Amino acid sequence: MNKIEQTLSIIKPDAVERNLIEDIKSIFTQNNLSIKENKKIHITKEEAAEFYKVHQPKPFYEDLCAYLSSGPIVVMILEGDNAVSKNRKLMGATDPKNAEENTIRKLYGLSIDKNSVHGSDSLENAKKEIDFFFKN
Ligand code: CMP
């Protein structure tokens, strides 16, 4: 069943640095995900720690927070049919080495850390992540 959803997408510092913003956005729009909100920001390490707090127990948490706050990122609200799962399919596996052909991470990801994009993993988390960046 198709349902219109919203999800959060982040273009991470490695992709912003390599001028991939427009290429990545066009993958979303060509696949019928519209970009409802969009802003380029540079967050602090503390904000990154709050955003990724579900990963706090993981060994990569410190590096992950340092990385997301290391340079500008683009945060977007994507909207469309089954937006959460569609975005995850377009991104590909977390580790670019395991990502399918023509996914964003296969095309542009450099490593499991510098994997170019983040996307919400469920509708519930999408709501929380959208609020995190777009609720005043
Ligand atoms: P993201 O979808 O932004 O969610 C958490 C991030 O942690 C993930 O993408 C990866 O960039 C990063 N990460 C680093 N090491 C790992 C790991 N071993 N497993 C999962 N994610 C990892």
Question: Residue 76's CB: how many other CB atoms inside 10 A?
Answer: 27
Which atom of ligand 1 lies closest to the CA of 63? 14
Residue 81 near residue 4 (C-beta atoms within 8 A): yes
> Distance between the two ends of the chain, CA-based, in angstroms?
33
Q: Are strands 34-41 and 117-119 parallel, antiparallel or unpaired?
A: unpaired
Residue 121 near ligand 1, beta carbon < 6 Å: no
pLDDT over 80 (residue 136): no
Q: Which residues contact 38 (CB under 8 A, 6 or more apart)?
A: 25, 74, 75, 76, 77
- Does the pTM of the predicted model rise above 0.95? yes
4-134: CATH class:
alpha beta
The radius of gyration computed from the CA coordinates of the chain, to the nearest angstrom, equals: 14
Domain range annotation of the chain: 4-134
Residues 58-69: pLDDT tens digits? 999 999 999 999
Which atom of ligand 1 lies closest to the CA of 113? 11
What's the average model confidence in pLDDT over 11-30? 98
| Catalytic residue list | 118
For tokens 């909100």, the residue is 37
Residue 123 near ligand 1, beta carbon < 6 Å: no
What's the average model confidence in pLDDT over 94-107? 98
Query: How many angstroms is it from 112 CA to the middle of ligand 1?
Result: 6
Residue 64 near ligand 1, beta carbon < 6 Å: yes
**What pLDDT, on a 0 to 100 scale, did the predictor assign at position 2?**
77
Residues 66-80: pLDDT tens digits? 999 999 999 999 999
